[in-house]
Chains A and B, each alone.
Chain A
Amino acid sequence: MKIYSILFKAEFKRFWSTGMLMLTVPLTLISLVTLGSVQTGNIKELSIFIDSADIVVIFLSFIIFTAGIVGADVKSGWLRTLLIRSVTREQYVITKILVVFISILIVFLISFSVDLLVISFNSKMVLTYDIAQTAVVFLLKVMHLLLMVIISALVSCVIPGSFNGYFVLAWYSFSQAIGFIVMRNYWDMKWAVVLQDYLFPGGFDDAKNAIMMQQAFPAAELLWGIAALMISFAWTLYSVNSIVVDTGSE
């Protein structure tokens, strides 16, 4: 575990460079404004408020924070340096995913908390708190985010440079658009409906929606989510192991 701790500190320090901090400040401000504009709508329930924060987490933090998550380290020689120092590829990729995931979470929590404070001081806005539902929605959102980060890391092993984030985002948006078109126009076409469900691994997102719509316990959706998380993680490990890095000792 010691190696993870040292590696985490090192990666966290590398990640939060001056440039990243300078990017994060406007990002957090944009997040605040976005959440602020969302809260002026008819959102009365805390869990719906958390859900609406998708815009901030996915569209802003995701592209910046996951850009070149693995690919950039291969190109800069950082992965080679680590491998020479007896760090395994697994330790590297697990730490890397955790650092990016926690960093996105921090930005989200800062924006969210500040905005919630603003709401609490705004006498016109009253949010109801269903703690259990809010906690479950938050947890599922976090799991979905972790899945996205892992997929982005996987794509980064294959696509060079910083395009992995854009690729995942485009894939996600494409699946959402197709889903919308199918459910609107081809809702009675068996294969269209079944296929659109599997265009993007959205098990946690579907489970969250089922809970928000007060449906029954979404067992199948949760299992799909866990399956996607595990398989994409295993695939990421495989892809990282397949990257050719000249460590001199291999």
Chain B
Amino acid sequence: MEQRPVYIMKITALIGILCAIAAAVIEFYPTHSSVQWVPYEMAFQRAKVEHKLVYVDVYAEWCAPCKRMDRITFANDTVIAALTEGVIATRVNGDDPNLGAKMKNEFNVTAMPTSLLFRSENAELKRHVGFMDAAAFMDWIADTSLSEFVHWDEFNEARVKAQNTKKTLIILALHDSLKVMEMQRAFQNKNVKQIIKRNFVPVLLINTITDHQKVIAQYTLLPSFDFVGYLYTFTPSMELIRAIPLRNWDASRTQSLVESLSAPQ
């Protein structure tokens, strides 16, 4: 009689079922982060008063990487501190018919989780799509070079400041936000910062941001797509002094460039 032992079959099936249950528990168990999320509408008001950036986490209850971020990233003490003290943190459920739709339609959010950093409403600074662990998240949010552009003025404020101080406006205009990080590296040099602070009122304009688009269209900036962007200098009354197209930007050239721009024409 042929033997048909079934114990291996039963044991492996049991191990398999137990593993599946454990995996399902990890994946579907409701998570909660320890971050104190501020309601979306309130976040931008608070950010204006407190002069802080707004961090927006676009997530969904059914999104596995979002849950992993809750479990790992937003449970990390350093991340919690950064999101509590450094920025105003808010989150938007992608399934929300109002805010979720707003994120998709106005901010072109095409996947979850998406992390967005705003200077003010409609003024997106940068974004990251996908999971980030605590270290990657801290690198992303605490990027020191980011402070360069954070402290640059919005266009209207910059114009007023330039008129009052009789300084030249220096406008960095980019087609999209993809090159922002590269440009930040170019402008974080200590000497470059000093030259800009001494001689210019700096402005960053990104053509994918609604408010910026109007300014770019009004002054016919970014005439060609052949370049990543342009660096302009304007008088306080908005008369063009110089326009420099930017392509394959070499950060080491920034200092000589801003020096030349600051020299009397």
Contact = CB atoms under 8 A, between A and B. Distances in A.
Interface of A: 83, 88-90, 183, 187-188, 190, 193-194, 197, 203, 213-216, 219-221, 223-224, 226-231, 233-235, 237-238, 241, 247, 249-250
B20 A187 contact: no
A128 B142 CA distance: 29
Contact of A223 (B2, B5, B22, B133): B22
A220 B27 contact: yes
Contacts of B62: 190, 193-194
Contacts of A221: 23
A205 to B, nearest CB: 14
B95 A228 contact: no
Given A187-B112, A190-B60, A88 B26 contact: no
B26 A227 contact: no
Contacts of B64: 197, 220
B12 interface: yes
B9 A247 contact: no
By secondary structure, the A interface counts as helix
B16 interface: yes
Contact of B13 (A90, A228, A231): A231
A4 B205 CA distance: 71
Contacts of B68: 215-216
Interface of B: 1-6, 8-10, 12-13, 15-17, 19-20, 22-23, 26-27, 60, 62-65, 68, 72, 94-95, 100, 104, 110-112, 130-131, 133, 136
Nearest to A83: B2
Contact of A224 (B2, B6, B9, B23): B23
Contact of A234 (B10, B22, B136): B10
A235 B16 CA distance: 11
A241 B8 CA distance: 12
Contacts of A194: 62
B140 to A, nearest CB: 13
A110 B23 CA distance: 35
B23 to A, nearest CB: 4
B6 to A, nearest CB: 7
Contact of A250 (B1, B65, B131, B136): B1
A228 B23 CA distance: 11
Contact of B5 (A90, A183, A228): A90
Given A83-B2, A215-B65, A219-B26, 8 more contacts: A183-B111, A190-B62, A215-B131, A224-B20, A227-B17, A230-B12, A230-B16, A234-B9
B131 A216 contact: yes
Q: Which of A89, A193, A227 has the most CB of B within 10 A?
A: A227
A164 B112 CA distance: 36
Nearest to B27: A220
B13 A230 contact: yes
Nearest to B134: A216
A167 B72 CA distance: 39
Contacts of B23: 203, 219-221, 223-224, 227
Nearest to A237: B9
20 contacts: A83-B2, A88-B3, A90-B5, A90-B8, A90-B9, A187-B111, A188-B94, A190-B95, A193-B62, A194-B62, A197-B64, A214-B136, A224-B23, A226-B16, A227-B16, A231-B12, A231-B17, A233-B12, A250-B1, A250-B2
Contacts of A237: 6, 8-9, 12
Contacts of B94: 188
Nearest to B94: A188
A90 B5 CA distance: 8
B136 A188 contact: no
Given A187-B110, A193-B63, A238-B9, A226 B136 contact: no
Nearest to B18: A227
B2 A249 contact: yes
A234 B13 contact: yes
A231 B10 CA distance: 10
B26 A223 contact: yes
Q: Which of A89, A188, A235, A237 has the most CB of B within 10 A?
A: A188
Q: Which of A190, A203, A215, A241 has the most CB of B within 10 A?
A: A215
Contacts of B10: 234
Contacts of B72: 216
B5 A88 contact: yes
Contacts of B15: 226, 230
Contacts of A247: 2
A235 B68 CA distance: 31
B112 A223 contact: no
B4 A89 contact: yes
Nearest to A231: B16
Task: Enumerate the 8 nearest inter-chain pairs by beta-carbon distance, A residue then B residue, closest first.
Answer: A230-B16, A223-B23, A234-B13, A231-B16, A227-B19, A227-B20, A237-B9, A220-B26
